[in-house]
Each structure stands twice: as C-alpha cells, then as structure tokens.
Amino acid sequence: MPSFDNTNGPSVPGIRGSDSSPNRNPGQNHNPDAIRGSEFYDWEPQQGVFSLGDDWQALELGQHANTNATLRHASKSKPESYSSEVHGSPPGLSNRGTFEIASTTNILSLQKTEAARQQEDLAKGHHGSKPSKTEISTTGDANERVIHINDPKLTNDKYEFTGNEIRTSKYTVVTFLPKNLFVQFHRVAYIYFLVIAALNQLPWLAVFGRTVSLFPLLFVLCVTAIKDGYEDWRRHRSDKKENNRLVEVLQGGQFQYKKWKDISVGEVLKVYATETIPCDMVLLGTSDPSGIAYVQTINLDGESNLKTRYARQETASRKPEREPPSGIIRCEIPNRNIYGFVANMEVEVGGRSIPLVPSNILLRGCQLKNTDWAVGVAVYAGQETKAMLNSSGTPSKRSRLEAYMNRETLWLSFFLFIMCAVVAIGMGQWLERHRDQLTTSPYFRKKYFTNGTDNGEKCNYFGVLMEILISFLSSVIVFQIMIPISLYISMELVRLGQSYFMIGDTRMYDSNSNSRFQCRSLNINEDLGQIKYVFSDKTGTLTENKMEFCNASIYGVNYCNGKVTMDSVGQESTGRHEEKESIAEVLDRQVWRPKMEVKVDAELVRLLGKSFSTQERKVAHEYFLTMAACNTIVPTIIEGERLIDYQGESPDEQALVSAAAAYGYALIERTSGHIVIDILGERQRLDVLGLHEFDSVRKRMSVVVRCPDNTVKVLVKGADSSMLNIMSKTSNNNQVTYMEATENHLHEYASQGLRTLVVGAKNLSDEELEEWQHSYQEASTALIDRTALLREAASLIECNLNLLGATGIEDKLQDGVPEAIESLREAGVKVWVLTGDKQETAISIGLSCKLLTHNMQQIIINGTSKDVCKKLLEEAKATYGISRVETRKSFSKRQKSIDIAQAEGIQETEGIQAFPESRSHVIRQITDINDISKGHGIVGASDRHPPLALIIDGTSLVYILESDLEQELFDLAISCRVVLCCRVAPLQKAGVVDLIKSRTNDMTLAIGDGANDVSMIQMADVGVGISGQEGRQAVMASDFAMGQFKFLKRLLLVHGHWNYQRVGYLVLYNFYRNAVFVLMLFWYILYTAFSTTSALTDWSSVFYSVIYTSVPTIVVGILDKDLSHKTLLRYPKLYGSGHRQESYNLQLFWLTMADTLWQSLVLFYVPYLSYENSTIDIWSMGSLWTIAVVVLVNVHLSMDIQRWALITHAAVWGSIIVTYACLVILDSLPGLPNYWTIYQIAKSSSYWLNIILITFLALLPRFLLKVLKQRFWPSDIQIAREAEILRKTPGHLSVKLTEIKGLPGH
C-alpha cells in the first residue's frame, strides 16, 4: 500500500491529504441515513471551518463574547454527545483528534442564518446548505489575541495579558479586615451588640465601663477573624507553593528554569514527563517524532485516563534549541470552555495559516505522561487559563439554622424593644406622679443636697422627655444579653468538637486510599442533618472508574466465571472443570499479561488452545482479534515482567484490551500506521488502513487492517442497537439460532447492569477495499461536511458483518454504594446523578447501584431545540398529571401539608399494643407507609402511575437552563423519584443544583471527586469531595471530604442527625437561658420605680453567660446523643426529623419563650412573696436569684440530656458548684456592696426552700407536657429511643420495630 503525504500528521499508509484538495461538490447528494440526526460539530482542520447543524439556534453561553469565530450551518446536527472527530489526523493514533464541547461553557456565538428557510427544511426532514469557509479573523479585533511565538515582549507590548501568578485566597493584608468584618456582620446579633457598645460610650448611659462593654463583641469578632485568617493563610501558602514551582523556558537559545509566576504569554516552555503543565500552551513538539503527547487531565475533567495531544507537523520536527520557533498564533480570547480551542498559527510571517484544534493545546493542571518531554508556547496564563476560569471563588457558606436564628433574633429584638419601652414609659409616668417630690425624694433628686461644693447643683436631671429616652437606652444596655452573643462562640466551639469526633470516626476511614474524614468547613455541621437532595457525580464517585470484563458471548455460548450455557445450537451443557486455567498453562509457554487483573474462564481458555478446525474456534479468534485491534489504546511495556500497562481515554477499551491480552491476544505496540499483537505467543503486525472512531450517531467503531497473509479485515464493535441491524442476514437456521442466543445474552447482561457491546467482522474483497479507500481518502481530506462524508465511507464497510459475539463489562461500583443509596432513599433523601457519561452508560450504572429499578417509568428528554424540549416536558407533565409549582413558598406549603397528611393517615391506621411488662408506656407497632416520593413524586403525580425516573441530556439542559423552561423542568424533576443528567458540563451541574436550591427551601448536597465537580460542590448548601483517584480539586473546594461514597450514609444518617439535634437544641436553650435571666431583671425593675437598677452585682451579670452556664451547653452540644448510631443506621427513616425541622422551628421557639415567661415569673415572685414583709436587703435577694437561676437552667438542661457521661455530670453539676464558689469569693471581698451576704442568707432554711420551690414550680409545666407528649403523641425518635432503653433493660421484652422505617412525621 503506497504512502501519501498527509499534512495533518505523519506519513501514514492509506491517507491522502493536501490543502489544495478540491472541495466536495456542494450539490452532491449524501446518504440521508448516514447524516440524519448528526450529533457532531464538524471541525475542518485545514481551513479552520467549524460547521454546525441547523437544529441549533443562536447559542451564547458562558463567555459568549469571547470569540470571533463565525459559525454557519451545515448538515442537520444535534450536539448531544458534545464530541467530534478530527478526521484529518492519522488513523491508528490514540484518539488523536477527539475533542468535546461543553454546553453551558460554550463560548462560541452561533449565528443563525437564513432561519426561515432552514426551519422549513427542518420540518421537511431536509438538511441545510453546505457551510461556507469560516476562519479566524486576521484583522486583530477585540475578540482575538495575537501571540508572537518566542517573543513575549512583543506579545505583551500593550500589557494586555496577565502574568501566570494565581490566587485562590479570599483576602489580602489590605482587604482582610474590611471584607472579614463585612462577612461577619451578616449576623444581625453582631450589629445589635455594636449598637449596644456604641450607646455605652455615652456618659449618661455608661451602665458598664466603656472599655469593658466592647470586650464581648471584640472577643467574638477576633476569634472568628483568627479562624478565617488561618483558613485563608493556608490558601495563600498553597498559592505560594504553586506559583514558585519551576519550569524550563527558552531564553537565549537555551532552556533555563523559571518560576511559574514569572511566565509570560508568548514564551516557549519545555515540560518533562510526570510534570504538571504550568499554563495553557499550544503544543509545538514532543520527544515522539510524530509529535504525539499523552496527558492526564484529572485536575480538569476528573478523568484519570490518558488523553492524546499532538503537535502540528510543521513544528513537530524542529528542535527549539537549534531552530528557535517563531511565528504568530491568533486565538480566541480566554474562556471557560475546556473542551474547545479556536486558533490559527502562521509558522512563517505571511505564510499559510495552520488551524489549531483542542487536540493541539495542553491545559494548565494536566500532567504529561508516557512522553519524555513536550515543548509549547504559552497562550493563556494565570487567572486567564481555562482551569482557573472554571474555578469559581470560594463561597462563604452559612448554615440554614443560623439563617433562621436571624429571624428569631429579630423577634427577641422586638421583645427587647417592648420591655425597654415599658420601662421608659413607666419611668415617665413615675416622674409625672412624683413631680412635686423630685426635690426631696430619697430615690430621685433634681439637685444635690450636700455640704460640699456640689450643694444645690443640678443632679443630672434633663427633664421628663429626656429622662424617658435615657431610661429607654439604659434599659437596652441592661437587657442586652436578651440577644445571646455568647451563643455564637458556643456554636463555634460545639462545631469544633463535633468535627473532632467526625474526623476521629474510624468507620469513615478508607484504608484503600489511606484517607480519613476531613472537616474543611466548621460552619455547616448541622446542615448535614437536613439534606433533602444529593447531587452525585458518577465516575469515581459512585464507581471506582475501573472496568472489569465479566462476560463473553462467543458463537452463542455465554462464558462467565467458569459457567457456560450452550443454548445457541440447542446442545446440552457439558461438564466443566472447576479449576481456573491461564492461557500460559494451556499453551505451555510464556505470554504477555495485562497489568490489570482479569478473571478468565477455563473453558474459553481451553477453546483458544485448540486448533482452528472448528467454526467456534475461528469465531473466537476473530472475536479477540477485534477486541485487541479495534481501539485507541496505547500499550506500555513493563520491562522484565512481561506485563503490559494499557492507557487510553476509555476505561471500557482498557478493560476489553486487557481481557484480550489475558486470553492470549496482547496488543504490544501501536504506531501511526500499524499495530503489533502477540497472538498466543506469536507476534503479528497488522497494518492499519483506516479507523472510524466511535460516535453517538453510528454508535460503533471500526478499524480496517491488513493481516500478515495479506487479507484485509474490517473489525467492528458497538452498541447492540446499531450493530445487530448491520449483521449479515442469512436463512441458515444455525446462524439464526446463534444470533437469537447472543441477543438473549445481551438482555441478560443488561439486566445485571453490565455495559454491553456487540462484536462483528468480515473480510473485504479487493473491490470493496478499493471503493472504501477512495471514499475514505476523499472524506478524510474534505474541508466541508467531513463528518457526514466519513459516515458514508464507514457505511460502505460496516454492513453484512459476521456476528462474533458480545461483551459484558462491569463498571465496578464502590463498595456499599447500592446500600448507601437505598438507605438515603428510605431516609427521604433524593439522589440525583449528574454525569458527563453517555446516556446508556449512566442508565446502566443507575441500575447497578439501585438508583434505577426496572419498574420505574423512564422519562427521557433528548431535545434538539428549545421548542422540542418544551414539547417533551409538557407531554411528560400531561401524561403523568404533574401540576405546576408557582413559588418557593407554595412548594414549601404543599410539601408540609403532604407530610402532615401522611402523618395523620398513619396515626389513624396504626395499631396499638400494650407491652406485657409493668410499664405504663405504650409501644406502637408502626406500619410501613412509603414516603410519598417513593411513588412518583411529591407534587401532583397520579397514584396510578409507576414511580418516575427523569433522564435528560446536556443538550436539552442547554436550551432549558437558559430559558423560561426552567420552571417546567423543575415541576417534572421534583415529581420524579430519580433524576439522571447525562453528558453535562461542569457549570451545567451547578445549574441543576441551583434549579432546586433557588426554588425550594430544601437543603442540597453535592458530592464528587474531580475538578469538573467543583462548581456543583460550591453551589450546593453542602459540598463533599471524594479523595480518590481523581486529583485534589474537588477536595480542596469541598466542605467535607471522605474516601468513599458509602461513608455519606453514616455522615448524614448518624453525624448529620446528631449535629442537627444538638445545635438545634443548643440555640433554643441559649435563647431560653438568657431570656429567663433578662425577664427576671425586668420584673425586678418594675418594682423599683423603673430605675433600671439591678439586685445582682455587675460581676454576677458578667459571669452568668461566661462561667456559670456556658460549659454545660457546650459539653451537651458536643456529646449528647438522642439515639445510637446502630439505631440510626438500621432505621433510616429517623433522618426525616431533620426534614421536618423537629429540633428547631418557629413553633418550638414560641413554646420555649412561653416556658421562659413562666419560669421567669416563678423565679422572681417566689422569693419576692416569701420575703415580702421581711427586712432582707437587695444584695441578699440578688444572691438568691443568682444561685436560683443557675440551678434552674442547669436542671432544665438535665431534663433534656439523652446520654449521660461522666464529663456531662461534671459539667452540669460542676457549674452549680462553681457558681457557689464564685459567690463565696465575691461576697468575701470587703470592697463590694454584697460583702458577706452569702454567709448570712445561707444560714436561713427559707433560702434553700426557695431554691427547691423555684426549681419545682418552674419546671413542673414542662415536665407534665413532656410526659403527656411521650404518652399520647410520641415522635419516631422517642419510640426508637424507648426501644433502645428496653432492649438494654434486663427482664423486659425486646421491642421489635421492624417497621420503623415507615415512621410517620409528627
């Protein structure tokens, strides 16, 4: 076979290429079946032509103004798969010209021309006219940048390009203070205390010392600022380490080391194997003579497989040190599209423009693999690189409960205003009533009556109105702890303690990756207990991203794990040896082995060891030959071990090639024009005549090879939907039975969740070969409509194939994924999967992980335009009776009403059985009532329909998320039990999360492992990163990080539940604790002429929140557990208490305030009435009230503690002892007015009786209410807790709550 000059790559047999090649006749007819429904963009490398199907409307997404490329319409195209083939690249290379277009980040402005005519053609099923050539403008407009290769000074002559220094931190030394204060003062309480501190600076309002009044606020602000500063310092340290890395830069004809931050656009860089690419650079040459480089892109798209990039042949052969590169690159301005690159390069001034495609650029963050070195020119640097543009700023997240606290803080502020107003008005009335007595009154005087110099002077009396105002402001200062600023410090400490125990949980330690759980954010621990939606990546998150070859159907025989079913030809199954045999043992010789472990079938191994005398053996030979040859895998020989490591973009291909090697068909060499396969110990070279890569229109891949015996074969593999109908049709009964058996095996594999492919092949005659070569060569060099022409060429040989068999590949799920998803579903959590994989792959994995079930009704939205998407959405809603949800408020009300109705319905039907033991409590046997979302939705879906699963592709999301169809998608999505989004770009993932987050009050969690998940993780209320094989980008952007998806079950159901219950109670208790203290002071002021005086010493007021009562709340907030982890994991429905906000809601707040009001009245009036006619002094009453309120709030706390530990006892009862000790010390200081008070009053029995009576009367209503609620209206938490207690009680019957997973919401 002669070699032809190919300008797009090295000289390759069977490829002809020339820029002077005539264009295909625009009027030439095409096979409509070959191009109908095209899902590809057509990039013409030689002229920079990018044609787009006429289904597309103007699309201006992301940085849409960042390009000057004009796109015109060609054949009818549907950019569903977002992938395209650059067929100008040589065949046989590893996906050399493949690139993808990310929908939501597409920066190309798609201009619709002749819209009316094209819409008419579309309606008739016709295709648009041929596209005209479109090249990047060379006029240097604002939408392009011009880079002078190896001349950074000329390139940056206008200083328009940024340097290569990056910054991911939020603050600088200058901006830290204002920005951090701005963030902190989002808390309403902080503004309140700032106002209080300002008022206390006024001389006539200085209730406390001016400086001392600032301490509480400054302390809180400083603690938070130190924490935020430390986190940002870590980011600065990471940035510094990144910016100071070294790379070789061409300077003065030699490569010299230079720091990354000093790299400029236009400089020529040299990167060595395993090094990271420092900036976006156009590849000029590599250590491979053909200019091929292999990179790993885990930091960009989350994929760990190798990608192929190549240098243009015009530059690949030059040595930079000998021939310093020069020329001009004109490219689009920086944009987020990591899958696209539009540029032209002129190697010589005034020379021919060479088009550059995405396969010609290396992006920052990629790692060079299997290539000694690569040379390139920097085109985007620093913050303008695609990786940095896709890395949005680190968001400041606040917990939902903290947001609700602001609401309650406003209510408490309102109460504070009312109390201060009452005191002020009372003061005004008192002054009016005693107007004539103000001069001689012993309590309030206008003038001084002394013997000193102040005799007769005014005694700071400003008139009634001013006195009212001063009284109001003084009351604000006295009652200031009504808003508990100490709560925020307590919450920070509690969250820190909770994080410590989460990190130390050995059940969330991943031994495989040697990674433990990480808490990267301390602000949202409690949000883990309220998650309603989980948005998960698939590859590397649900799966291990490791494919395993499981099943082989060859000649109608199913080989799987040592079992064989010969249902193909009606023969009975024969006995088989149980032991496993390797191909080396059968052949009695050494053979190449794949690095990937593959389990082989002994019977199949023995079949391959036989001679070619049987048809079955011949079919098996071609079957494995196809698996070894029909791919783009790059083999790497591991010397000395006869091992081969296979690298490629597709894990499926890796699994197939490794399986072929395990059975004796080892691919050991791949070049641009041939491959070498070791077949059962004998090397055979196969010349690659042409390669038709996989695309989502044909859904198959084929390669044409010339064998050593000079026969030419076409080897094909693909999806069963596209392969079975191109097989040879024969009336041979045996062949028909053979095909039926293969189809049965395919159904069997699919039911097991395996990824299936069909394998076929045939020999080409000389006539067929000649016809195909002519068509293939013409299509490969065409400038217009290349993709459609290549499909036509493929259709010439991809027909009348001989069926060889089928494959079944398992994308291995991580351990515990199906169980975790099932538990989350039982807990009322909806799991959505957002993946960049193909639709078929995503559905298959959905079945494997039990996300999808076979009884679900699948709604598939694959729209090619906005109108089509709208029609599909409306039809789905009409079919399943789904109503519209207008607003977030109406959705929340509907959701709440459904929960209440569900709970009431269960209450009516549940049976009650008294325990045979001598316990007064009744244990209810709960019937299993499915959550309403378990059926087909939570809004408006009809009960007669099966559960719904929505499957939508990225193309449809392009039209939906940027239009008024978002609401339609939202209505449909929330009515489905499962949502599966396929072929979605990183920002589309964030858009889907925002779809739910912006329209509901439900909490969202996003989990992923790759850089393509960063936007989603940051958009969600809670972001979780998987620290697996896909780099560290997701972990660095996350709030929490862990080793495997299965840990999410324990994180939410156990730690999330505990954290939410603890923090919810902590907030309510702090509101109660401070309010009861303030109300006690308020009642006292009403009896002291509204004078804002206090019976308590200043020290007691300060110590109350800091020392007397703070420690028990923190300890309980960290350690208390309402249920054990075993119970929470056994009954996932218990997690629903967080969805119903049982631990913190507005109703509980009002009940707490009502209880607080009662307790404050008891606290004040019991001592008041007891000592009404006595001569007790004010400080003695103050000592009584101090110790009484501390005892009261601690006993109140002890009533609610679920799990007592030694440290809990020490904290609760120790705080009372500490309070007494402090009172004794303070009353022992002679200089204080309360000197010796405690020693006198403690001798009185009435003192101790008052404390006991206050505690009993104040807590009696609360105790009775708790008893009645647990007796007649127990919650699911209370039922489960009693079951735990009874199981631990000897002599009592064990409670069997086998149906607790259906617990209702109360």
State pLDDT tens for residues 779-806. Answer: 765 545 767 888 899 999 999 999 999 9
> What is the radius of gyration, based on Cα positions, of the chain?
38
The pLDDT of residue 782 is 58
As a dihedral over the C-alpha atoms of residue 1269, residue 1272, residue 1275, residue 1277, rounded to 10 degrees, the angle is 90
The pLDDT of residue 534 is 95
What confidence tier does 910 reach under pLDDT thresholds 50, 70, 90? very low
Quote the DSSP letter at residue 515.
B
The pLDDT of residue 103 is 32
Rounded CA separation 313/292 (Å): 10
The pLDDT of residue 895 is 54
- Amino acid residing at 1073: R
The pLDDT of residue 126 is 35
Is the C-alpha dihedral spanning 394, 396, 399, 400 positive or negative? Answer: negative
**Is 0.75 surpassed by the pTM of this model?**
no
Rounded CA separation 423/1086 (Å): 7
Please determine, for residue 896, whether its predicted confidence score (pLDDT) is greater than 60: no
Rounded CA separation 74/50 (Å): 9
Average predicted confidence (pLDDT) for the chain: 76
Q: Write out the H or E segment, with its range, that includes residue 900.
A: helix 888-909
Distances (CA, A) of 989 to 363, 924, 954: 21, 44, 9
The pLDDT of residue 457 is 58
Closest listed residue to residue 965, CA positions, set 860, 865, 869: 869
3-state secondary structure of 1267: helix
3-state secondary structure of 312: coil
Write down the H helix ranges in 583-690. 583-587, 602-608, 615-629, 651-662
The pLDDT of residue 601 is 87
| pLDDT (tens digit per residue) in 469-512 | 888 888 888 887 887 777 888 888 899 899 999 999 999 998 88
Distances (CA, A) of 1230 to 87, 1100, 1187, 1227, 1284: 96, 16, 21, 8, 55
Rounded CA separation 584/682 (Å): 13
Sheet of strand 948-953, all strands in order from the earlier edge strand to the far edge: 518-519, 1040-1042, 1022-1026, 1003-1008, 531-536, 830-834, 978-982, 948-953, 857-861
- Among 42, 288, 537, 1155, the active-site one is 537
The pLDDT of residue 11 is 33
The pLDDT of residue 578 is 43
Distances (CA, A) of 1031 to 301, 648, 1008, 1014, 1267: 10, 18, 11, 12, 54
Rounded CA separation 107/98 (Å): 18
Burial 6-17 (b: 16+ CB within 10 A, else e): bbbbbebbbbbb
The pLDDT of residue 521 is 83
Angle separating helix axes 1146-1170 and 400-433, nearest 10 degrees: 40
Angle separating helix axes 986-997 and 954-961, nearest 10 degrees: 50
Please determine, for residue 898, whether its predicted confidence score (pLDDT) is greater than 60: no
Rounded CA separation 764/705 (Å): 10
Q: Please indicate whether residue 537 is annotated as part of the active site.
A: yes
Which range, 405-414, 995-1004, 1169-1178, is most confident?
Answer: 995-1004
Distances (CA, A) of 480 to 217, 529, 910: 12, 32, 49
Cβ(317)–Cβ(285) below 8 Å: yes
Cα-flanking dihedrals φ and ψ of residue 1064, to 5°?
A: -60, -45
Please determine, for residue 599, whether its predicted confidence score (pLDDT) is greater than 80: yes
What confidence tier does 140 reach under pLDDT thresholds 50, 70, 90? very low
Identify which has the larger pLDDT, 822 or 673. 822
| pLDDT (tens digit per residue) in 698-707 | 889 999 999 9
Please determine, for residue 554, whether its predicted confidence score (pLDDT) is greater than 90: yes
Closest listed residue to residue 285, CA positions, set 300, 306, 271, 265: 271
Q: How many helices (H) and strands (E) does the chain have?
A: 40, 44
Rounded CA separation 616/413 (Å): 85
The pLDDT of residue 831 is 93
Share of the chain above pLDDT 90, in %: 29
What confidence tier does 17 reach under pLDDT thresholds 50, 70, 90? very low
Rounded CA separation 764/800 (Å): 11
Cβ(1276)–Cβ(1306) below 8 Å: yes
Burial class (CB in 10 A: 0-12, 13-18, 19+), 795: middle
Strand 268-272 to 246-251 pairing: antiparallel
Which residues have a Cβ under 8 Å from the Cβ of 746 and sit 6 or more positions away?
553, 720, 756, 758, 806
Please determine, for residue 448, whether its predicted confidence score (pLDDT) is greater than 80: no
Which residues have a Cβ under 8 Å from the Cβ of 1033 and sit 6 or more positions away?
299, 365, 391, 1010, 1011, 1014
| pLDDT (tens digit per residue) in 949-991 | 999 988 888 888 877 888 889 999 999 999 999 878 788 888 8
Average pLDDT of span 794-822: 90
Average pLDDT of span 580-600: 76
Which of 19-23, 271-275, 380-384, 1248-1252 is the least confident region?
19-23
Q: Write out the H or E segment, with its range, that includes residue 1237.
A: helix 1237-1241
- Amino acid residing at 1217: I
Q: What is the 3-state secondary structure (H, E, C) of 804-863?
A: EEEEEEEEEECCCHHHHHHHHHHCCCEEEEECCCCHHHHHHHHHHCCCCCCCCEEEEECC
Average pLDDT of span 1009-1037: 79
3-state secondary structure of 95: coil
Sheet of strand 49-52, all strands in order from the earlier edge strand to the far edge: 42-44, 49-52, 72-73
Q: Write out the H or E segment, with its range, that includes residue 535.
A: strand 531-536
Please determine, for residue 564, whether its predicted confidence score (pLDDT) is greater than 60: no
Rounded CA separation 833/537 (Å): 6
Q: What is the 3-state secondary structure (H, E, C) of 345-356?
A: EECCCCCCEEEE
Cβ(356)–Cβ(301) below 8 Å: no
Please determine, for residue 78, whether its predicted confidence score (pLDDT) is greater than 50: no
Angle separating helix axes 966-973 and 866-879, nearest 10 degrees: 30
Please determine, for residue 136, whether its predicted confidence score (pLDDT) is greater than 90: no
Q: Write out the H or E segment, with its range, that includes residue 665.
A: strand 665-670
Cβ(1303)–Cβ(948) below 8 Å: no
Please determine, for residue 1001, whether its predicted confidence score (pLDDT) is greater than 70: yes
Which residues have a Cβ under 8 Å from the Cβ of 1247 and sit 6 or more positions away?
1184, 1241
The pLDDT of residue 777 is 80
Average pLDDT of span 217-231: 81
Burial 1005-1028 (b: 16+ CB within 10 A, else e): bbbbbbbbbbbbbbbbbbbbbbbb
Average pLDDT of span 342-353: 75
Identify which has the larger pLDDT, 793 or 634. 793
| pLDDT (tens digit per residue) in 1089-1142 | 888 777 777 677 777 887 888 899 999 999 999 999 999 999 999 999 999 989
Identify which has the larger pLDDT, 1051 or 584. 1051
Average pLDDT of span 9-22: 33
Structure-block tokens of residue 997:
């987050």
Is the C-alpha dihedral spanning 348, 349, 351, 354 positive or negative? Answer: positive
What confidence tier does 442 reach under pLDDT thresholds 50, 70, 90? low
Quote the DSSP letter at residue 485.
T
Cβ(601)–Cβ(560) below 8 Å: yes
Identify which has the larger pLDDT, 189 or 272. 272
Token pair 């207008």 in the structure block, residue: 886
Cβ(17)–Cβ(780) below 8 Å: yes
What confidence tier does 439 reach under pLDDT thresholds 50, 70, 90? low
Average pLDDT of span 922-926: 34
Measured at the alpha carbon of residue 1146, what is the angle toward residues 1141 and 1150, in degrees to the nearest 5?
130
Which of 729-733, 743-747, 752-756 is the least confident region?
729-733
What is the end-to-end Cα distance of the chain in Å, rounded? 79
